[in-house]
Amino acid sequence: MKARIQIMLKNGVLDPQGEAIKHALNNIGFESVTGVRQGKVIELDLEGSDKSQVRSQIENMCNKMLANAVIENFEIELL
């Protein structure tokens, strides 16, 4: 089974990379861009066919290692 995890900073957490991207886009003529939030995507190949069990395992991975629960949120998509 494949899974995609999208990890983003929580609202209210300063995103310096997003601000740098916004500034660069504005400088090359894309002044309509007023905000950028930068995150990461992780794709996993997993064994198992029980979707609820796989989702639970991925949530555990995110909470223990892949995401910083203090400043990041994550979304899991089973593919």
Tens-digit pLDDT profile for residues 31-69: 999 999 999 999 999 998 999 999 999 999 999 999 999
The Cα–Cα gap between 53 and 51 comes to 5
Tell me, what's the pLDDT at 57? Answer: 97
The residue range of the domain holding 8 is 2-78
Give the CATH number for residue 62. Answer: 3.30.1280.10
| % residues pLDDT > 90 (the chain) | 97
Q: Global pTM?
A: 0.86
Average pLDDT, the chain: 97
Q: How many domains does the chain have?
A: 1
Task: Please tell me what DSSP assigns to residue 64.
Answer: I
Give the contacts of 31 (CB within 8 A, at least 6 positions apart).
none
Tell me, what's the pLDDT at 54? Answer: 96
